[in-house]
Amino acid sequence: MRWTNLVPTTIYLYSDIDDRLTTALDDMGMGPQEAWELAINTYCDALQPPIPAVFPEPIDKANLKVPRDPNPPPPGTPRDRPVAPGSVVRLKRNTRARLVAACHQEQMGGMAVLNDAMEAYLDELDLEQSDAQQPQAH
């Protein structure tokens, strides 16, 4: 028996994106699940072609296994950017299915897609905040 319809998803963010996310969550008073739902769904909507917003097949039969990087660097290769400790976020099943579909479509692993999605979402928030802070011409 399931006590929730949410799917636990382990996320490894680059440290700089993790720091930005922490600041954004504090500033907006938003929880991590809400931010991840928005980031992943916005990212999937922006892809070409976009990932379907709702999966027509029964969602309990959808592929929810997030793939690893299909082109991993050789073992022992140092990372370009430091990675923060992993965290677990519970995603709606449809959002998790969209994440998996985005990974397959873009031929990227889950870590890359999740970092791209959150970075794009935070960049958009930064643009909205800077626009709101611009003095209005009279």
Q: Would you say residue 138 lies in a domain? A: no
80 class by beta-carbon count within 10 Å (0-12 exposed, 13-18 middle, 19+ buried): exposed
Q: To the nearest whole number, what is the mean pLDDT of the chain?
A: 88
In the predicted structure, residue 135 carries a pLDDT above the cut 80: no
Burial letters 85-116, b for 16+ CB under 10 A, else e:
eeeebebbebbbbbbbbbbeeeebbbbbbbbb
Assigned domain for 92 exists: yes
| Total number of domains constituting the chain | 1
Structural domain that includes position 31: 6-69+81-130
pLDDT in tens, 34-63: 999 999 999 999 999 999 998 766 666 667
Question: With 0-12 CB in 10 A as exposed, 13-18 as middle and 19+ as buried, what is 73?
Answer: exposed
Residue 135 lies in a domain: no
Residue 126 maps to a domain = yes
Q: What is the pLDDT of residues 89-102, one digit of tens each?
A: 999 999 999 999 99
Q: What is the pLDDT of residue 61?
A: 65
* 132 — pLDDT class (breaks 50, 70, 90): low
pLDDT at 4 over 90: no
Inside any domain, residue 116: yes
